[in-house]
Amino acid sequence: MSTSPTLVVCEDGDEYTTRFARLLGQEFHFERANGYATAVSLLRAGACGILLDLDFRRTPSADLVDETGATNPALSDGERHRLAQIQGILILRSLRGAGLDAPAILFADFDEPSRGNYLVATLSPLVILPSSESLPSIAKHIHALATPQRIR
């Protein structure tokens, strides 16, 4: 078992997990979660934070959670597309609803700053980083997320 802090990387591929392990693998242990159920398990097992992609277009319908945290394998194409586009938010909302308050970073680009502000206010502790964020800046945010200064 790794003595490095464990961070959950919730994504539908492995691009973030691979990048972060290459960038910060000497300091942190990154565990990939392909959706809500795995993220819950890893956080309950002691991971200190979660990094979330926003869009889960490669995820099967049966694994997408909706606004209530429920899954439905028989989604219409339109509903599947809608849920996949905001899956990272829905996963984080479900985690918060389950009482998991681990700090989170959501990788997302929003046209409206008010949308990001609302998410930070309602799903904190949360930092939202755009796709334009540099790797050194992302590393700085990951270090801050994993620093055990939070009072639980």
Q: DSSP label at 74?
A: T
pTM, 2 dp: 0.92
pLDDT digits (tens, 9 = 90+) for 79-91: 999 999 999 999 9
3-state helix, strand, coil in the chain (%, to 5): 45, 15, 40
pLDDT digits (tens, 9 = 90+) for 33-74: 999 999 999 999 999 999 999 999 999 999 999 999 999 989
Helices (H) and strands (E) in the chain, counts: 6, 5
pLDDT digits (tens, 9 = 90+) for 117-136: 999 999 999 999 998 999 89
- What average pLDDT score do residues 98-109 get? 96
Is residue 78 within 8 Å of 99, Cβ to Cβ? no
For residue 35, give the nearest of 87, 86, 75 by alpha carbon. 87
The residues with which 7 forms a beta bridge, in sequence order, are 30, 49
Is residue 102 within 8 Å of 42, Cβ to Cβ? no
Domain boundaries, the chain: 53-100
- pLDDT reported for residue 147: 78
